[in-house]
Structure 1
């Protein structure tokens, strides 16, 4: 493939914006400095398994990209696309209408979006047995990609490297971070790994499920009868997990969601102050035709592949990238990604977070106040299960209030940190924190990467 297709001295997002404004790529446009370039490519991580990544160099007007951190963003699902949803819906330079995002993280960090596991977004497999079936494979694949990336982009080897994640991406980020730490220690990958941020993360699924009932009840979204029904199915999920029946636990998890929707008049699992979208409701009417697993995939992965985003990715973006195979459509294999991970989906990874903390890796947990599927109560519950020696001292600390706007007295978040563990409570945000509270999410990223202080 021609390398010129993959490295763009002029940011692709500006090219796209110019096209939207009716300009040609050769028209007079006020381009930023050279550090605003982009790069993208595929890495074959295993036989028949190809992973796509997309890099934006930071565009801070006062600093070169080499003076700012590199942030890798991992989406959830599994099967949600970082290069699509994380990029155009949350933290990238443009939104899905190709309009500039005021709260883009690109002003404070270079951004690396990776479509993982293989089969997600523009990533693809050639054979069905190449899909990842567990976290070990997901982490192993990412080690291949990161080694290739840092070998080819030596300018980032000394830049502080952070992994930020969301939802199931947090579970993957935990496993990936531990393997990356080992690879760096062994000298297999050259990078300055500086920390991992677990956002609304599926670290301990059962703790989320067990807290759904009490959380909804406290928010006046369940009555006594509804609470009893949700608590009953949650106990069934717990029993299945205790017995190691993880596929059964996944199916019971789906049943629990259905019970909640019926008792709450269709509460949105991603933000309790809203209801499920009409599109989701239409799909629900056909759910009886689908298997339980397919229904779960449609409900959660489809949410990350809205029509507007899908049209953008399979239209202008695909045309500009030029390296996407003809028989590969963005999101075309995502349902198989989700289904292939069925046996791994409900497994907890609290022990991995413990290993990260013990290794001295900076671990940041953040959660949206209005999230249900990974509610804050559930996050706090698994945190209390950590065996980290400093946990008692962490728990004794009083949190600090944070303000996204220094001129406003409105509290945007709370934070508590001790040694290498921090927790951010993000107010008025649902599951997708950067989409709901862009200013606070950007501030949090700057705090995590030591670009400002919470004092």
Structure 2
């Protein structure tokens, strides 16, 4: 007989919510002059590109040693929806190196987290900025966008401006990217890759699919693409993309020894309920089951995972508690000096503490699938799906659960493809399979944020993707 969830909470150690790995942003109130936000769209529309570039240039300390551009792009004038971006030209050959766009997950997590803690040009310490040895801008033109609208420094003046689904996400991102390709017209001749992690397992395919279908339509009708984007591939790290086939925590946790056979049975019952909700298109029900199982965004009394294992984090099974080391970044970005430097002025920063309006509006989307989009993209572009070995929330076996069901050119090859040992400087970095346009990678000794845990190895992986180099 199924144990009622409320009874389970009374029987197992109850406690508080998970530690949020993303930085906490204190209210901006240091009394200094944060300058004015740089709204670039009116200048782009007026053809005043030089003026827009001048306004977007990040020239103030402590960023004056590195060329970069930051500001706002208006993606919906009706609702005054604006997306914040920060662009770093390649350190090697900006006129020829590929473009890489990075999108954070959440939903509602700022891409500045990736910039400062995973793959950007620098990190933040108590003493200031510290250059990152394996920054992706070493050999890529690197862009970060706070996405969707309402995330980080991005904002909208109307609730109707928030994304409700991935079509909305793709639409807004595409509008932002088109404006970037007008602001930097040299982009139109460069290869373009879309990357991200976690809930960006939805965002990345959403943008890629929007670009693909839009440009395909122009080509099919023999029309010139107004703003051509040379989309070449995507990379998704530890991505939630197809929940109906990724909702398999019980077996995984049991095999890790984190739960016993009785707890596994309870997990199986909840998973079956969640899958049934998805099949019936009852996405609120599916979200609630996911929350009760592990996510715990709206369950202060504890998820099944927390109450059975005692873990306060689900990003690395070798760590039972999270940390707040990234809060240094939160304090850093909320100073008037930094706000002025990156052209956000006194605009509100939206983090994951308290009300998360981005997730609230995307609740119907969380347990929906973008697998059909990924399958179609695999017929045209290189797709790298990678996982950190130690993740729990989007574990490697859960990712395989949907990859093995994808119907794409090369699907049969994938099922029988050899697995290559991926070595860097004599050390085993992980394992990889290749089939058609699909590249499936396990990053050894990494958790949910693989670029942060293994920066050298993931830098090698992303460079292989953008250079067209395989693992065999």
Determine if the TM-score, normalized by the shorter chain, exceeds 0.5: yes
Contact 1:44–1:51 (Cα < 8 Å) also in 2: yes
Q: Which residue of 2 aligns with 1:230?
A: 267
Q: Which residue of 1 aligns with 2:27?
A: none
Contact 2:188–2:230 (Cα < 8 Å) also in 1: yes
Structure 1 residues 420-429 or 200-209, which shifts more? 200-209
- Deviation, structure 1 residue 413: 1.0
Contact 1:55–1:113 (Cα < 8 Å) also in 2: yes
Distance in 1, matches of 2:85 and 2:265, equals 45
Of the three residues 255, 273, 280, the one matched with 1:218 is 255
SS across alignment from 2:150: coil
Matched, 1:201 2:232: no
Of the three residues 445, 450, 457, the one matched with 1:433 is 450
Following superposition of structure 1 onto structure 2, how do residues 309-324 of structure 1 map, counting pairs within 5 Å?
Answer: 309-315=329-335, 316-322=337-343, 324=344
CA pair 152-327 structure 1, distance change in 2 beyond 3 A = closer
CA pair 144-57 structure 1, distance change in 2 beyond 3 A = same
Matched, 1:361 2:381: yes
Q: Which residue of 1 aligns with 2:229?
A: 191
Distance in 2, matches of 1:100 and 1:344, equals 37
Distance in 2, matches of 1:152 and 1:183, equals 20
Unaligned runs of 5+ in 2: 1-37, 39-50, 219-224, 295-302
Q: Which residue of 1 aligns with 2:17?
A: none
Of the three residues 421, 430, 437, the one matched with 1:413 is 430
Q: Which residue of 1 aligns with 2:422?
A: 402
SS across alignment from 1:37: coil
Residues 330-380 of structure 1, C-alpha deviations (whole Å, 9 max, x = no match): 53897111111001111011111111123x121111111111111111111
TM-score normalised to the size of structure 1? 0.84
Q: Which residue of 1 aligns with 2:316?
A: 271
Equivalent pairs counted in the alignment come to 400
Matched, 1:99 2:99: no
Q: Which residue of 1 aligns with 2:70?
A: 40
Residues 362-419 of structure 1, C-alpha deviations (whole Å, 9 max, x = no match): 1111111111111111111101111114211122111111123x2x3x3111111122
Q: Which residue of 2 aligns with 1:56?
A: 88
SS across alignment from 2:73: strand
Distance in 1, matches of 2:468 and 2:373, equals 27
4+ residue runs over 4 A deviation: none
Distance in 2, matches of 1:207 and 1:308, equals 37
Of the three residues 327, 337, 340, the one matched with 2:358 is 337
Of the three residues 380, 396, 401, the one matched with 2:400 is 380
Distance in 2, matches of 1:451 and 1:100, equals 27
CA pair 334-451 structure 1, distance change in 2 beyond 3 A = farther
SS across alignment from 1:78: coil
Q: Which residue of 2 aligns with 1:16?
A: 62
Matched, 1:76 2:76: no
Distance in 2, matches of 1:416 and 1:453, equals 9
Of the three residues 96, 99, 118, the one matched with 1:90 is 118
Distance in 2, matches of 1:93 and 1:206, equals 37
SS across alignment from 1:81: coil
Distance in 2, matches of 1:206 and 1:375, equals 14
Distance in 1, matches of 2:309 and 2:229, equals 47
User: Quick one: higher RCO (CA 8 Å, sep 6+), 1 or 2?
Assistant: 2
Distance in 2, matches of 1:278 and 1:117, equals 25
CA pair 221-442 structure 1, distance change in 2 beyond 3 A = same
Contact 2:150–2:350 (Cα < 8 Å) also in 1: no
Unaligned runs of 5+ in 1: 18-24, 26-30, 280-304
